[in-house]
Amino acid sequence: MPNQSPQHAAQDEPSGELTIRVVAMPADTNANGDIFGGWVLSRMDQAGGVAAVDRAQGRVVTVAIEAMTFVKPVRVGDVLCVYTSVQGVGRTSMKIHVEAWARRFRTDVREKVTVGTFTFVAIDDEGRPRLVPPERGAT
């Protein structure tokens, strides 16, 4: 496909680790009957937070969301599956690639619906930035 970045290219399989899976419910819909983008964004932030906490080995906060792209709508009854992978680690921050896929209601069809990059900062008990420790198992 011409002029399509790798992040937005057609993809048959999710990238990253399955982190959260949840059913979209009627209470989460907008006036058109689709699931609110904010509801999807919230699930993605939760999944990114889980990945960031694992990598940081402690508390984290979301500080930025960039390159957020809504590809397809999520509908009532779809199972939203959110996948995460650590893109990069700085001194106190981490970039987490987050993909949301919908397993369509009562089918085996799975489609990528949203993708984004979330930045988290590791914090201490007082809410101050702290160093992200080396990856577990790294020497």
Q: What is the pLDDT of residues 40-50, one digit of tens each?
A: 999 999 999 99
DSSP 3-state of 53:
helix
**Residue 137 reports pLDDT greater than 70:** yes
- Identify the structural domains of the chain with CATH numbers, from first to last: 13-122 (3.10.129.10)
What are the tokens at 78? Answer: 């779809």
**Residue 57 reports pLDDT greater than 90:** yes
**Residue 8 reports pLDDT greater than 60:** no
Q: What percent of the chain has pLDDT over 70?
A: 91
To the nearest whole number, what is the mean pLDDT of the chain? 92
Phi, psi of 98 (to 5 degrees): -130, 130
pLDDT digits (tens, 9 = 90+) for 85-114: 999 999 999 999 999 999 999 999 999 999
Please report where in the chains the tokens 């048959």 appear, as a residue: 12
Sorting pLDDT into bands at 50, 70 and 90, what band is 119?
A: very high
